[in-house]
Chain A
Amino acid sequence: MWIRRFAAGVAAVLAAVITTPAGAVTEIQWWHAMGGALGQKLEKIANDFNASQADYKVVPVYKGSYPEAMTAAIAAFRARQNPTLLQVFEVGTATMMAARGAVYPVYELMKNENEPFDPKAFLPAVTGYYTDTNGNMLSFPFNSSTPILYYNKDAFRKAGLDPNAPPRTWADVESAVKKLQAGGTTCGLTNEWPSWVLVENFSAFHNIPIGTKSNGFGGLDTELKINNPLVEKEIAMLADWQKTKLYDYGGRTDKAQPKFFSGECGISLGSSAARANILANGKFDLGYGMLPYFADVKGAPQNSIIGGATLWVLKGRPAAEYKGVAKFFTFLSRPETQAWWHQNTGYLPITLAAYELSRSQGFYDKNPGTDTAIKQITLNPPTENSKGLRFGSFVQIRDVIEEELEQAFAGKKTAKEALDAAVKRGNDLLRAFEKANM
């Protein structure tokens, strides 16, 4: 009896010795900011990659919110302890791009490691945000979203509005919120991510600049332009609506979401990635539409811009890890991986192939509304106003813009005063960034 057990033990040890390759598995640290259910899905992608080959193991590590993850990685870089792969939100792009000594551009990596890589396979509205002026992709798009209009069809019915006709223009929105309120809904309209939705995407959708130098793509000596009459008109209108709750400000980031899914507000401008969450929490018939625009503006609607995050490769790790990262990117680019991620998270498909695959699988027929976001970012070929934006210190600038918007909505400043102040404070930050990165 013991002999058999002994033999089994020896066999197990031998098997372990033999099957473990001499070089062992190369581990690749991937720091990310996806908590909750999204974090789990991200881990599944890493596990699938690890199971698909035997040489590399991608280890996802959750490092808190986007800013926390980025700061942790930067602190680690300064101490030469950085991860190979880092998920950075879109507003951190300029900071990462300016750190030339710290990041390994994705296009270079793919070329050096001889991995097939075609930037044209990606949606232009996605890649545009993350390429340099020569069209080279510096980071790898991972999770992208864009704001769309959500509306409560039940509330629309109750107010005598057509539940199958989402408001298209701001004039439509105005008559809808008034009817909604008359029909018993407490508040008409709210929105998530105030700066992203009301300023950045509003400008892109109306094809007007957010800043000079092609929204900052053209150089660090850029200045904000958001105190223009059109943005002012929008903010003044919302501030006016705020008084009677036709519009009700719901806070920064996605804090406004419960206002909409609890039925308090009838319309919400929010991230396309919020769809699953709204469906899970809202007990009503959900409708989707594109962002509203002012019909009298020439060139509107243009196309909306994205938010979300990309994967940056950091320097200073052993060469073998970069080979693994390149293979991981190839794995991520596969239409099946992309389509799975897109369909299960609500983020945009970032390659055309993943979009086609999802369509042929009947995903959009089964899940109405999921393609609204895609249609909206591909509405027109991106112009220099709607390609995206690239401002240094934009994390701080976004805070500044939202602080000033709050002043306008609270009635403490006029829309013009608030936007002027935002531009002035924002430009100060841009100058400091320019100086630090010259």
Chain B
Amino acid sequence: MQTKRVTFGGYGVPALLVAPQLAVTLVFFIWPASQALYQSVLQQDPFGLKTEFVGLANFRRVLADPAYLDSFAITAVFSLVVAAIALGVALLLAAMADWVIRGATAYTTLLIWPYAVAPAIAGVLWWFLFHPTIGIFAYVLSRFGIAWNHLLDARQAFLLIVIAAAWKQVSYNFVFFLAGLQSIPRSLIEAAAIDGAGPVRRFRTIILPLIGPTTFFLLVVNIVYAFFDTFGIVHATTGGGPGTATTILVYKVFRDGFEALDLGGSAVQSVVLMAVVVALTLVQFRFIERRVHY
């Protein structure tokens, strides 16, 4: 871990400074999280009246459940697709905004606000719009001969949560891409233009490599977002169906633990999720540390 070359002395002051955060973290995070970990080796009824230590039985049960393994695959595909769409659309819009220069701020205003919409509300909005009977989008699609029924069609249901999730994330990506594009020295691009490189070629050969790090950072952020912050969207739109086609991991943890009261099974899933978080965090952390160096 990096440190400053120049630091202040003393132990008391820093101890006092970290105390509030440590206290809050220990009481409201580490302790409950360790309770969740402990729960994963217990067999307990919901009310906590009977508790039995069962070792790794819960792990064996969950990891042998084909529905859980499916959920892993669904989540992986979902995260990648959401990230790809949210990044692609944002990059396209940012490149356009960078090109027009005039009005870029106004376009930012127009594109940035969906960031503020709660996932739970975004879910309600999209559910309303794609409702097979009353939704206007479903109606428009049916005019084009596409029967929209995400209640039964797994691919359409998947598409629905992808659209809703990507919609919310485009704003965030746009801000970063635009900033990245605008920080590229004009002289560099002008030099290329003088050499006869057209806008498309310049974009491919100069701009894309230069915003590579931003893209990678955003990729990680988007995957994390799709993994963990899309619970509200799934909850409000598809409820995980049809079948288990849109049951992503976080939603499954919630449903098994919170609705079905399968505390042990849900705790096992939390443990697996924690492992995923740690892995993703390490990737991001290494990457960011590296960026700070250059």
Contact = CB atoms under 8 A, between A and B. Distances in A.
Direct contact of A and B (CB under 8 A): yes
Contacts of A78: 47-48
Interface string A80-96: 00000000000000010
Nearest to A242: B152
B255 A399 contact: yes
A101 B260 CA distance: 20
A410 B153 contact: yes
Interface string B32-50: 0000000000011111111
B133 A258 contact: yes
A252 interface: yes
A404 B66 CA distance: 13
B151 A249 contact: yes
Interface string B104-127: 000000000000000000000000
Interface in B215-249: 239-244
A261 B258 CA distance: 33
Nearest to A406: B242
Given A71-B261, A396-B256, A406-B152, A437 B50 contact: yes
A406 B243 contact: yes
Q: Chain A contact residues: over half helix, strand or loop, or mixed?
A: helix
A436 B243 contact: no
Contacts of A436: 43-45, 50, 52
B174 to A, nearest CB: 34
A109 interface: no
Nearest to A435: B43
Contact of B49 (A71, A101, A407, A410): A101
Contacts of B202: none
B259 interface: yes
Choose among B49, B61, B131, B154 the residue with the greatest number of A CB atoms under 10 Å from its CB: B49
B180 interface: no
A237 interface: no
A250 B134 CA distance: 12
Given A403-B244, A437-B45, A250 B151 contact: yes
- Range of interface residues on chain A? 35 or more
A435 B262 CA distance: 12
Interface string A236-249: 00000010000011
Interface in A224-263: 242, 248-252, 255, 258-259, 262
B67 to A, nearest CB: 8
Nearest to B51: A436
A395 B151 contact: no
Interface in A379-405: 393, 395-396, 399, 402-404
Nearest to A253: B239
Contacts of A410: 152-154, 242-243
A334 B129 CA distance: 45
Nearest to B255: A399
Contacts of A99: 45-47, 49
B151 A255 contact: yes
Contacts of A154: none
Contacts of A407: 242-243
A242 B147 CA distance: 13
Interface string B127-163: 0000111100000000000000101111000000000
Nearest to B134: A258
A412 B44 contact: no
A95 B265 CA distance: 16
A396 B262 contact: yes
A242 B255 CA distance: 29
A262 B262 contact: no
Given A99-B46, A255-B151, A264 B133 contact: yes
A432 interface: yes
A402 B239 CA distance: 12
A67 B47 contact: no
Contacts of A248: 149
Contacts of A406: 151-152, 241-243
B161 to A, nearest CB: 15
Contacts of A258: 131, 133-134
Given A102-B47, A437-B45, A74 B151 contact: no
Contacts of B132: 250, 259
Contacts of B255: 399
A95 B151 contact: no
Contacts of B256: 396
Interface string A55-66: 000000000000
Contact of A74 (B46, B154, B265): B46
A77 interface: yes
B154 A393 contact: no
Interface string B154-183: 100000000000000000000000000000
Contacts of A95: 46, 261
A403 B245 CA distance: 9
A251 B157 CA distance: 12
A409 B152 contact: yes
A250 B152 CA distance: 8
A98 interface: yes
Nearest to A315: B47
Interface string B195-206: 000000000000
A262 B139 CA distance: 13
A250 B262 CA distance: 28
Given A67-B259, A399-B255, 10 more contacts: A68-B259, A98-B45, A99-B45, A101-B47, A249-B149, A262-B134, A393-B260, A393-B262, A432-B61, A432-B262
21 contacts: A67-B258, A67-B260, A71-B259, A74-B47, A78-B47, A95-B261, A100-B49, A101-B49, A249-B151, A250-B151, A252-B239, A258-B134, A402-B241, A406-B152, A407-B243, A410-B153, A410-B154, A412-B243, A435-B43, A436-B44, A437-B45
5 tightest Cβ-Cβ pairs between the two chains A and B:
A406-B242, A67-B259, A396-B260, A251-B151, A258-B133
